[in-house]
Structure 1
Amino acid sequence: MKHSLLALTLAAALPFAAAHAAEGVSYNYVEGGYSATNQDADADGFGANASVAFHPNFHAFGGYHNQEIDDSSIDFDQWRVGIGYNHEISPRADLVTRIAYEKYDFGRIGGQRLDPDGYSAEVGVRGALTTHLEGYAMAGYEDYGSDYGDDFYGRLGAQVKFTPNWGVSGDVKFAGGDTQWFVGPRFTW
Protein backbone atom coordinates (compact mmCIF):
# COMPACT_ATOMS: atom_id res chain seq x y z
CA MET A 1 0.00 0.00 0.00
CA LYS A 2 2.85 2.39 0.85
CA HIS A 3 4.50 1.77 -2.54
CA SER A 4 1.23 2.43 -4.37
CA LEU A 5 0.66 5.66 -2.47
CA LEU A 6 4.23 6.82 -3.15
CA ALA A 7 3.93 6.01 -6.87
CA LEU A 8 0.59 7.84 -7.08
CA THR A 9 2.06 10.90 -5.31
CA LEU A 10 5.07 11.00 -7.66
CA ALA A 11 2.87 10.60 -10.73
CA ALA A 12 0.62 13.44 -9.58
CA ALA A 13 3.62 15.73 -8.95
CA LEU A 14 5.32 15.20 -12.33
CA PRO A 15 3.22 17.73 -14.30
CA PHE A 16 4.07 20.45 -11.76
CA ALA A 17 7.83 19.93 -11.85
CA ALA A 18 9.54 23.08 -13.12
CA ALA A 19 11.52 21.65 -16.02
CA HIS A 20 11.67 21.52 -19.79
CA ALA A 21 13.89 20.13 -22.49
CA ALA A 22 17.53 21.16 -22.40
CA GLU A 23 18.68 23.80 -24.86
CA GLY A 24 19.52 22.28 -28.24
CA VAL A 25 17.61 19.03 -27.57
CA SER A 26 14.31 18.42 -29.37
CA TYR A 27 11.90 15.56 -28.75
CA ASN A 28 10.12 16.24 -32.08
CA TYR A 29 11.71 14.28 -34.91
CA VAL A 30 11.26 11.65 -37.60
CA GLU A 31 14.09 9.54 -39.01
CA GLY A 32 14.57 6.64 -41.39
CA GLY A 33 17.52 4.58 -42.48
CA TYR A 34 19.55 1.40 -42.38
CA SER A 35 19.03 -1.06 -39.51
CA ALA A 36 21.09 -4.15 -38.64
CA THR A 37 21.47 -6.84 -35.99
CA ASN A 38 24.74 -8.69 -35.39
CA GLN A 39 24.41 -12.01 -33.54
CA ASP A 40 24.69 -15.73 -34.40
CA ALA A 41 22.68 -15.07 -37.58
CA ASP A 42 23.17 -11.50 -38.81
CA ALA A 43 20.28 -9.49 -40.25
CA ASP A 44 19.80 -6.13 -41.90
CA GLY A 45 17.11 -3.98 -43.45
CA PHE A 46 15.45 -0.63 -42.85
CA GLY A 47 13.89 1.23 -39.97
CA ALA A 48 11.96 4.37 -39.06
CA ASN A 49 11.63 6.14 -35.71
CA ALA A 50 9.66 9.15 -34.52
CA SER A 51 9.10 11.17 -31.37
CA VAL A 52 6.60 13.93 -30.55
CA ALA A 53 6.66 16.12 -27.44
CA PHE A 54 3.16 16.71 -26.08
CA HIS A 55 4.23 18.54 -22.91
CA PRO A 56 7.50 20.31 -21.99
CA ASN A 57 8.55 17.16 -20.06
CA PHE A 58 6.77 14.32 -21.89
CA HIS A 59 7.08 12.78 -25.33
CA ALA A 60 5.60 9.81 -27.18
CA PHE A 61 7.92 7.74 -29.37
CA GLY A 62 7.77 4.77 -31.67
CA GLY A 63 9.72 2.79 -34.19
CA TYR A 64 9.38 0.12 -36.86
CA HIS A 65 12.24 -1.97 -38.26
CA ASN A 66 12.17 -4.74 -40.86
CA GLN A 67 15.22 -6.96 -41.29
CA GLU A 68 16.04 -10.10 -43.26
CA ILE A 69 18.31 -12.74 -41.73
CA ASP A 70 21.38 -13.29 -43.92
CA ASP A 71 21.47 -16.41 -46.13
CA SER A 72 17.80 -17.20 -45.47
CA SER A 73 14.33 -16.20 -46.56
CA ILE A 74 13.34 -15.31 -42.98
CA ASP A 75 12.57 -11.71 -42.19
CA PHE A 76 11.17 -10.12 -39.06
CA ASP A 77 9.40 -6.95 -38.00
CA GLN A 78 10.20 -5.12 -34.78
CA TRP A 79 7.76 -2.59 -33.30
CA ARG A 80 8.23 -0.23 -30.38
CA VAL A 81 5.87 2.39 -28.95
CA GLY A 82 6.16 4.22 -25.65
CA ILE A 83 6.21 7.32 -23.54
CA GLY A 84 9.15 9.24 -22.13
CA TYR A 85 9.81 11.80 -19.43
CA ASN A 86 12.66 14.32 -19.73
CA HIS A 87 13.93 16.51 -16.90
CA GLU A 88 16.58 19.19 -17.42
CA ILE A 89 19.65 18.52 -15.25
CA SER A 90 21.79 21.25 -16.82
CA PRO A 91 21.16 23.90 -19.48
CA ARG A 92 22.32 21.45 -22.20
CA ALA A 93 21.42 18.01 -20.75
CA ASP A 94 18.31 16.06 -19.76
CA LEU A 95 17.72 13.04 -17.57
CA VAL A 96 15.44 10.81 -19.66
CA THR A 97 13.27 7.87 -18.56
CA ARG A 98 11.20 5.85 -21.03
CA ILE A 99 8.87 2.86 -21.01
CA ALA A 100 7.73 1.04 -24.14
CA TYR A 101 5.70 -1.84 -25.50
CA GLU A 102 7.96 -4.03 -27.68
CA LYS A 103 7.00 -6.62 -30.31
CA TYR A 104 8.88 -8.90 -32.70
CA ASP A 105 7.11 -10.78 -35.49
CA PHE A 106 9.01 -13.55 -37.28
CA GLY A 107 5.86 -15.05 -38.82
CA ARG A 108 5.72 -18.84 -39.04
CA ILE A 109 8.96 -20.76 -38.59
CA GLY A 110 8.76 -24.54 -38.67
CA GLY A 111 4.95 -24.44 -38.47
CA GLN A 112 5.02 -22.41 -35.27
CA ARG A 113 4.12 -18.72 -34.93
CA LEU A 114 7.05 -16.78 -33.44
CA ASP A 115 5.91 -13.31 -32.31
CA PRO A 116 7.08 -12.41 -28.79
CA ASP A 117 5.98 -9.17 -27.19
CA GLY A 118 6.84 -7.46 -23.94
CA TYR A 119 8.06 -4.20 -22.50
CA SER A 120 11.19 -2.19 -21.91
CA ALA A 121 12.22 0.52 -19.46
CA GLU A 122 15.31 2.68 -19.79
CA VAL A 123 16.97 5.65 -18.12
CA GLY A 124 19.85 7.81 -19.25
CA VAL A 125 21.22 11.20 -20.18
CA ARG A 126 20.68 13.08 -23.44
CA GLY A 127 22.34 16.37 -24.25
CA ALA A 128 23.63 18.87 -26.78
CA LEU A 129 27.41 18.46 -26.72
CA THR A 130 27.89 21.32 -29.23
CA THR A 131 25.51 23.23 -31.50
CA HIS A 132 26.06 20.55 -34.18
CA LEU A 133 26.41 17.41 -32.04
CA GLU A 134 23.94 15.74 -29.70
CA GLY A 135 24.37 12.45 -27.86
CA TYR A 136 22.83 10.08 -25.35
CA ALA A 137 23.66 7.08 -23.19
CA MET A 138 20.90 4.83 -21.78
CA ALA A 139 20.71 1.71 -19.62
CA GLY A 140 17.63 -0.45 -19.93
CA TYR A 141 15.79 -3.65 -19.17
CA GLU A 142 13.51 -5.59 -21.53
CA ASP A 143 11.22 -8.54 -20.82
CA TYR A 144 9.49 -10.71 -23.43
CA GLY A 145 7.79 -13.13 -21.03
CA SER A 146 8.68 -16.54 -19.66
CA ASP A 147 9.02 -18.18 -23.09
CA TYR A 148 11.61 -15.69 -24.37
CA GLY A 149 13.27 -14.22 -21.30
CA ASP A 150 14.56 -10.84 -20.29
CA ASP A 151 17.78 -8.87 -20.64
CA PHE A 152 19.60 -5.74 -19.52
CA TYR A 153 21.02 -3.55 -22.27
CA GLY A 154 22.98 -0.40 -23.01
CA ARG A 155 22.19 2.10 -25.75
CA LEU A 156 24.44 4.82 -27.19
CA GLY A 157 23.43 7.35 -29.80
CA ALA A 158 24.42 10.58 -31.49
CA GLN A 159 23.19 13.07 -34.04
CA VAL A 160 25.30 15.34 -36.22
CA LYS A 161 23.24 18.41 -37.17
CA PHE A 162 23.87 20.05 -40.55
CA THR A 163 21.10 22.63 -40.04
CA PRO A 164 18.68 23.23 -37.15
CA ASN A 165 16.24 20.81 -38.84
CA TRP A 166 18.40 18.25 -40.67
CA GLY A 167 21.03 15.84 -39.45
CA VAL A 168 22.26 12.25 -39.43
CA SER A 169 21.60 10.09 -36.38
CA GLY A 170 23.02 6.79 -35.21
CA ASP A 171 22.06 4.38 -32.43
CA VAL A 172 23.74 1.23 -31.09
CA LYS A 173 22.08 -1.15 -28.61
CA PHE A 174 24.14 -3.82 -26.80
CA ALA A 175 21.92 -6.60 -25.38
CA GLY A 176 23.13 -10.02 -24.29
CA GLY A 177 25.03 -11.53 -27.20
CA ASP A 178 23.70 -9.27 -29.94
CA THR A 179 24.25 -5.73 -31.17
CA GLN A 180 21.53 -3.73 -32.93
CA TRP A 181 22.30 -0.53 -34.75
CA PHE A 182 20.64 2.12 -36.86
CA VAL A 183 21.93 5.03 -38.98
CA GLY A 184 20.03 7.50 -41.14
CA PRO A 185 18.84 11.06 -41.77
CA ARG A 186 16.72 12.84 -39.15
CA PHE A 187 14.30 15.75 -39.56
CA THR A 188 13.77 17.72 -36.34
CA TRP A 189 11.26 20.48 -35.63
Structure 2
Amino acid sequence: MKKRLMLAAVLAAAPFVASAQGNGLSYTYVEGGYTQANIDYDDELLGDFTADGGYIRGSFELSPSFYVFGSYSQGKDDDSVAIDFGGGDVVTFDVEDELKQGEFGLGYHMAMGEKVDFIGELAYVRLDEDFSFSTSDGDSGSDDLTSKGGRAALGLRGGSDTLEGWVKLGYIDLGEVSGDFIGTAGGQYKFNKTWGIVAEVEVIDDLSRFSAGVRASF
Protein backbone atom coordinates (compact mmCIF):
# COMPACT_ATOMS: atom_id res chain seq x y z
CA MET A 1 0.00 0.00 0.00
CA LYS A 2 2.82 2.42 0.90
CA LYS A 3 4.57 1.74 -2.42
CA ARG A 4 1.33 2.43 -4.31
CA LEU A 5 0.82 5.72 -2.45
CA MET A 6 4.43 6.78 -3.17
CA LEU A 7 4.03 5.89 -6.86
CA ALA A 8 0.79 7.87 -7.07
CA ALA A 9 2.45 10.90 -5.47
CA VAL A 10 5.38 10.76 -7.91
CA LEU A 11 3.06 10.46 -10.92
CA ALA A 12 0.93 13.36 -9.66
CA ALA A 13 3.95 15.60 -9.20
CA ALA A 14 5.65 14.66 -12.48
CA PRO A 15 3.87 17.26 -14.71
CA PHE A 16 4.83 20.09 -12.31
CA VAL A 17 8.45 18.95 -12.10
CA ALA A 18 8.70 18.70 -15.88
CA SER A 19 7.16 22.15 -16.26
CA ALA A 20 9.59 23.70 -13.78
CA GLN A 21 12.76 21.95 -14.93
CA GLY A 22 12.09 20.85 -18.51
CA ASN A 23 11.68 24.28 -20.13
CA GLY A 24 15.42 25.02 -20.05
CA LEU A 25 14.97 28.22 -18.02
CA SER A 26 17.38 28.52 -15.11
CA TYR A 27 16.74 30.92 -12.23
CA THR A 28 20.15 30.30 -10.66
CA TYR A 29 22.90 32.17 -12.48
CA VAL A 30 25.65 34.79 -12.29
CA GLU A 31 26.54 37.23 -15.04
CA GLY A 32 28.60 40.32 -15.70
CA GLY A 33 29.70 42.59 -18.50
CA TYR A 34 29.46 46.05 -20.05
CA THR A 35 26.72 48.57 -19.37
CA GLN A 36 25.88 52.02 -20.68
CA ALA A 37 23.39 54.43 -19.10
CA ASN A 38 21.98 57.45 -20.93
CA ILE A 39 20.13 60.33 -19.27
CA ASP A 40 18.48 63.07 -21.32
CA TYR A 41 19.13 66.24 -19.30
CA ASP A 42 17.80 68.54 -22.05
CA ASP A 43 20.80 70.80 -21.38
CA GLU A 44 22.22 72.63 -24.42
CA LEU A 45 25.50 73.32 -22.63
CA LEU A 46 26.44 69.90 -21.22
CA GLY A 47 24.18 67.76 -23.41
CA ASP A 48 23.07 64.25 -22.49
CA PHE A 49 24.80 62.13 -19.86
CA THR A 50 26.27 58.87 -21.15
CA ALA A 51 27.94 56.64 -18.56
CA ASP A 52 30.04 53.68 -19.66
CA GLY A 53 30.95 51.03 -17.12
CA GLY A 54 30.31 47.51 -15.93
CA TYR A 55 27.74 45.46 -14.05
CA ILE A 56 27.31 42.22 -12.14
CA ARG A 57 24.04 40.35 -11.60
CA GLY A 58 22.94 37.15 -9.97
CA SER A 59 19.89 35.05 -9.18
CA PHE A 60 19.29 32.05 -6.93
CA GLU A 61 16.25 29.77 -7.05
CA LEU A 62 14.81 29.22 -3.57
CA SER A 63 12.05 26.82 -4.63
CA PRO A 64 10.29 25.66 -7.82
CA SER A 65 8.42 29.00 -7.79
CA PHE A 66 10.53 31.64 -6.00
CA TYR A 67 13.99 33.13 -6.50
CA VAL A 68 16.06 36.00 -5.14
CA PHE A 69 18.12 38.29 -7.33
CA GLY A 70 20.48 41.24 -7.13
CA SER A 71 22.58 43.49 -9.32
CA TYR A 72 25.09 46.33 -9.18
CA SER A 73 26.19 48.65 -11.99
CA GLN A 74 28.55 51.60 -12.18
CA GLY A 75 29.34 53.98 -15.02
CA LYS A 76 31.14 57.28 -15.52
CA ASP A 77 30.97 60.17 -17.98
CA ASP A 78 33.75 62.74 -18.42
CA ASP A 79 33.26 65.93 -20.40
CA SER A 80 35.01 69.24 -21.00
CA VAL A 81 33.18 72.47 -21.80
CA ALA A 82 34.67 75.88 -22.64
CA ILE A 83 32.46 78.87 -21.73
CA ASP A 84 33.11 82.37 -23.04
CA PHE A 85 32.11 84.93 -20.40
CA GLY A 86 32.98 87.83 -22.71
CA GLY A 87 35.98 90.11 -22.94
CA GLY A 88 38.25 87.21 -23.83
CA ASP A 89 37.49 85.45 -20.52
CA VAL A 90 37.14 81.78 -21.51
CA VAL A 91 36.89 79.23 -18.71
CA THR A 92 37.15 75.47 -19.28
CA PHE A 93 35.03 73.21 -17.10
CA ASP A 94 36.12 69.57 -16.66
CA VAL A 95 33.02 67.68 -15.54
CA GLU A 96 32.83 64.15 -14.13
CA ASP A 97 29.48 62.44 -13.53
CA GLU A 98 29.24 58.95 -12.02
CA LEU A 99 26.11 56.80 -11.77
CA LYS A 100 25.82 53.75 -9.48
CA GLN A 101 22.77 51.51 -9.06
CA GLY A 102 22.13 48.56 -6.77
CA GLU A 103 19.11 46.28 -6.60
CA PHE A 104 17.97 43.33 -4.48
CA GLY A 105 14.64 41.57 -4.70
CA LEU A 106 12.36 38.54 -4.72
CA GLY A 107 10.89 36.96 -7.84
CA TYR A 108 8.12 34.51 -8.63
CA HIS A 109 7.74 32.37 -11.76
CA MET A 110 4.99 30.07 -12.97
CA ALA A 111 4.88 27.95 -16.11
CA MET A 112 2.37 29.14 -18.70
CA GLY A 113 3.40 26.59 -21.31
CA GLU A 114 6.13 24.16 -22.19
CA LYS A 115 8.63 26.94 -22.95
CA VAL A 116 7.12 30.07 -21.34
CA ASP A 117 7.08 31.33 -17.74
CA PHE A 118 5.09 34.15 -16.18
CA ILE A 119 7.35 36.19 -13.87
CA GLY A 120 6.69 38.76 -11.16
CA GLU A 121 9.34 40.74 -9.26
CA LEU A 122 9.56 43.07 -6.25
CA ALA A 123 12.87 44.82 -5.57
CA TYR A 124 14.58 47.44 -3.45
CA VAL A 125 16.54 49.91 -5.61
CA ARG A 126 19.23 52.46 -4.72
CA LEU A 127 20.53 55.01 -7.23
CA ASP A 128 23.58 57.20 -6.53
CA GLU A 129 24.77 60.02 -8.80
CA ASP A 130 28.03 61.84 -8.00
CA PHE A 131 28.85 65.07 -9.85
CA SER A 132 32.13 67.00 -9.67
CA PHE A 133 33.85 69.69 -11.72
CA SER A 134 37.07 71.68 -11.86
CA THR A 135 37.84 74.79 -13.89
CA SER A 136 40.88 76.16 -15.67
CA ASP A 137 41.01 79.07 -13.19
CA GLY A 138 41.26 76.78 -10.15
CA ASP A 139 37.67 76.50 -8.97
CA SER A 140 36.06 73.16 -8.16
CA GLY A 141 32.92 71.71 -6.70
CA SER A 142 30.91 68.54 -6.23
CA ASP A 143 27.43 67.30 -5.43
CA ASP A 144 25.71 63.95 -5.00
CA LEU A 145 22.19 62.60 -5.12
CA THR A 146 20.98 59.37 -3.53
CA SER A 147 17.55 57.97 -4.32
CA LYS A 148 16.04 54.88 -2.68
CA GLY A 149 12.82 53.08 -3.37
CA GLY A 150 11.20 50.07 -4.96
CA ARG A 151 10.39 48.44 -8.25
CA ALA A 152 7.55 46.07 -9.16
CA ALA A 153 7.31 44.31 -12.52
CA LEU A 154 5.37 41.61 -14.36
CA GLY A 155 6.46 39.85 -17.53
CA LEU A 156 7.13 36.77 -19.59
CA ARG A 157 10.26 34.69 -20.08
CA GLY A 158 10.61 31.87 -22.56
CA GLY A 159 12.52 30.25 -25.37
CA SER A 160 14.39 27.11 -26.29
CA ASP A 161 17.56 25.30 -25.25
CA THR A 162 19.54 27.71 -27.48
CA LEU A 163 17.66 31.02 -27.44
CA GLU A 164 15.50 32.69 -24.85
CA GLY A 165 14.02 36.12 -24.26
CA TRP A 166 12.13 38.11 -21.66
CA VAL A 167 9.99 41.23 -21.44
CA LYS A 168 8.91 43.03 -18.26
CA LEU A 169 6.72 46.04 -17.59
CA GLY A 170 6.56 47.63 -14.19
CA TYR A 171 6.63 50.70 -11.99
CA ILE A 172 9.54 52.23 -10.09
CA ASP A 173 9.46 54.85 -7.33
CA LEU A 174 12.71 56.19 -5.89
CA GLY A 175 11.33 58.72 -3.44
CA GLU A 176 13.08 61.96 -4.45
CA VAL A 177 12.68 60.95 -8.08
CA SER A 178 9.02 60.81 -9.13
CA GLY A 179 7.64 57.37 -9.87
CA ASP A 180 7.48 56.19 -13.44
CA PHE A 181 6.87 53.14 -15.60
CA ILE A 182 9.82 50.91 -16.45
CA GLY A 183 10.16 48.59 -19.40
CA THR A 184 12.76 45.84 -19.88
CA ALA A 185 13.52 43.56 -22.81
CA GLY A 186 16.39 41.11 -23.12
CA GLY A 187 17.62 37.84 -24.50
CA GLN A 188 20.23 35.13 -24.17
CA TYR A 189 22.06 32.92 -26.65
CA LYS A 190 23.16 29.68 -24.95
CA PHE A 191 26.31 27.86 -25.99
CA ASN A 192 25.41 25.00 -23.63
CA LYS A 193 23.47 24.45 -20.38
CA THR A 194 25.96 26.59 -18.44
CA TRP A 195 27.33 29.37 -20.65
CA GLY A 196 25.55 32.02 -22.66
CA ILE A 197 25.76 35.64 -23.78
CA VAL A 198 23.05 38.10 -22.75
CA ALA A 199 21.86 41.54 -23.80
CA GLU A 200 19.21 43.75 -22.20
CA VAL A 201 17.62 47.19 -22.63
CA GLU A 202 15.87 49.04 -19.81
CA VAL A 203 13.94 52.31 -20.20
CA ILE A 204 12.69 54.61 -17.41
CA ASP A 205 11.40 57.98 -18.68
CA ASP A 206 14.59 59.97 -19.55
CA LEU A 207 16.93 57.17 -18.40
CA SER A 208 17.80 54.26 -20.67
CA ARG A 209 20.30 51.50 -19.98
CA PHE A 210 21.90 48.91 -22.25
CA SER A 211 23.92 45.96 -21.00
CA ALA A 212 25.69 43.03 -22.62
CA GLY A 213 27.58 40.26 -20.87
CA VAL A 214 28.26 36.62 -20.16
CA ARG A 215 25.99 34.42 -18.00
CA ALA A 216 26.77 31.16 -16.24
CA SER A 217 23.62 29.19 -15.33
CA PHE A 218 23.45 26.37 -12.80
Q: Give the alignment's TM-score, normalised by structure 2.
A: 0.73
Give per-residue Cα distances to partners, 1:119-138, cap 9 Å, x unaligned.
0000000012x321010011
Aligned match of 1:93: 116
Letter in 2 for 1:24: G
Q: Which runs of 5+ in 1 are unaligned?
A: 1-17
Letter in 2 for 1:43: A
When structure 1 is superposed on structure 2, of 22-31 and 52-61 the one drifting more is: 22-31
- Aligned counterpart in structure 2 of residue 134 of structure 1, from 161, 164, 167: 164
Identity of aligned residues (%): 33
Aligned match of 1:120: 151
2:31–2:58 contact (8 Å) kept in structure 1: yes
Report the number of matched residues.
170
Query: Cα RMSD (Å) of the superposition?
Result: 1.7
Hey, what's the Cα distance between the residues in 2 that align with 1:94 and 1:30? 20
Consecutive aligned runs of 4 or more in structure 1 exceeding 3 Å deviation: 18-22, 107-113
SS at match of 1:20: helix
Shift of 1:162: 0.6
Q: Structure 1 residues 80, 102: closer, same or farther in 2, change over 3 A?
A: same
Q: Which runs of 5+ in 2 are unaligned?
A: 1-15, 40-47, 80-94, 133-140
Hey, what's the Cα distance between the residues in 2 that align with 1:108 and 1:96? 36
Q: Structure 1 residues 43, 86: closer, same or farther in 2, change over 3 A?
A: same
Letter in 1 for 2:107: G
The answer to whether the aligner puts 1:143 opposite 2:173 as a matched pair is: yes
Q: Give the alignment's TM-score, normalised by structure 1.
A: 0.84
Aligned match of 1:20: 20
- Aligned counterpart in structure 2 of residue 75 of structure 1, from 71, 87, 98: 98
2:65–2:108 contact (8 Å) kept in structure 1: yes
